[in-house]
Chains A and B, each alone.
Chain A
């Protein structure tokens, strides 16, 4: 510690190391937050249900998505990424997940919302398995932190069914 540069370097290194520790503890404190999210999805209308020229089924839905994700926000949250996926089983794949809608929620106040919208991304099957198909609509979310570990979870809502014939 005999010169200005020596002391300045030692201080800077130690300060950055401690900063890393602070961020790690801040991320660890996220484990203690009490999270009680809720969501509901209604299918208001099946707009159309067709077989594409290449043979794949496609369906267009109007969804009403209601969710309260406010309890997911902690002091260490930058944003919450939420998306709705349709999940179903076919003879070819044991799990098909098709993302229908997503949103980035940057503030806690915006996390209690309802939205009525047709699907943002196209619901296209690998094949023609959708007639009469039962499927789940799952709301997934990723809580993206300012520093540290990202938490992801979901709510599965089951009981949805597509019509037996094309419209």
Chain B
């Protein structure tokens, strides 16, 4: 996944789980069935897992451009220049 995809995955996961929880509670409360609430929530967790955990292509729409290894050899790594600015003392 790319960076945008990771952010999307995290947001999708949180929103989907919250929706599943709200739907499960409302349906369970109105039908007075604890079992229904638990089943709906478990289903919601399963669906969210299927959508957000595997590395689907739509998470990779802004792929990072990695440098080709053969290209890297042609351009040496730049040297780190230590630039020190010393304050001039005024006596």
Contact = CB atoms under 8 A, between A and B. Distances in A.
Interface of A: 1-2, 4, 7-8, 10-11, 14-15, 18-19, 21-22, 25-26, 29, 74-76, 146
Nearest to A78: B34
Contacts of A8: 49, 53
Please give me the 3 A-B residue pairs with the lowest Cβ-Cβ distance, nearest first.
A1-B6, A75-B32, A18-B21
A70 to B, nearest CB: 13
Nearest to A18: B21
Contacts of A11: 13, 17, 45, 48-49, 52-53
Interface residues of B, number: 26
A22 B25 contact: yes
Contact of A18 (B18, B29, B37, B52): B18
Nearest to A145: B34
A22 B19 CA distance: 12
Nearest to B13: A11
Nearest to A146: B34
B4 to A, nearest CB: 11
Contacts of A15: 17, 45, 48
Given A18-B18, A18-B21, A1 B41 contact: no
A25 B55 CA distance: 34
A75 B31 CA distance: 9
Contacts of A18: 17-18, 21
Contacts of A14: 13-14, 17
A146 B32 CA distance: 13
Nearest to B11: A1
Nearest to B18: A18
A31 to B, nearest CB: 13
A75 B34 contact: yes
B53 A4 contact: yes
A2 B1 contact: yes
A73 to B, nearest CB: 10
